[in-house]
Copies of this chain bind each other. A is one copy, B any other.
């Protein structure tokens, strides 16, 4: 209808179209608030196509969840990879780099993880959502343990604290108009968060 001809696209391309549209609509309307009609319209395809390429509404939501979780996870991992865990004077810099990656992901891709996972923190999807979030936090805990010493398990509450803090700060930045700042927002936010938490983390390490 949009193109006049109904073009046959490769299945993976269609699937990506559908997922993109779904993420947008889920982010705006919430899990229950989003309708399959709206998703189909946003994707520019018919409703049966949505079912063909995205499956049931629940499956579709789960796929969105998984894709955004993966995206965030790989962003973090990539940012941290180089010379991780060498301890010493650069630990602060490495934390800052990881946080900057997180903030960049979140501020660039607004409708992604942060918005998405909140929709479903209760209800039928509480399980998968929690699992995904715990995955991310677990990864953060591993990194922290490498930097600060100690086992990942003891680092777990600290990781939760850190991720929560980062989300809170990102919320603040996303909430108001900060578009005119000349600095890269990710840099700014990473600096702010490091200033607040690094002294405490450093002290924990030495304890």
Q: Which residues in A have some Cβ–Cβ distance to B below 8 Å?
A: 27-33, 115, 118-124, 130, 134, 137, 156-158, 160-169, 171-173, 175, 192-193, 195-204
Contacts and interface: CB of A to CB of B under 8 A. Distances in A.
A197 B195 contact: no
Given A31-B32, A115-B122, A164-B169, 19 more contacts: A30-B120, A32-B32, A119-B119, A137-B172, A156-B172, A157-B172, A157-B192, A160-B172, A161-B172, A161-B192, A161-B193, A162-B168, A164-B171, A195-B203, A196-B197, A197-B200, A199-B199, A199-B202, A200-B200
B161 A168 contact: yes
Given A161-B168, A164-B165, A200-B195, A122 B130 contact: no
A100 B202 CA distance: 23
Contacts of A169: 157, 160-161, 164
A180 B32 CA distance: 36
Contact of A196 (B30, B122, B137, B161): B161
Nearest to A198: B200
B168 A30 contact: no
A167 B201 CA distance: 18
A26 to B, nearest CB: 8
Contacts of A134: 175
A166 B27 CA distance: 24
Nearest to A119: B122
Nearest to A125: B30
A50 to B, nearest CB: 18
A160 B171 contact: yes
A173 B33 CA distance: 30
17 contacts: A27-B122, A28-B122, A30-B123, A31-B33, A33-B122, A115-B122, A118-B118, A119-B119, A119-B121, A130-B175, A157-B192, A161-B192, A162-B165, A163-B168, A164-B168, A195-B200, A199-B203
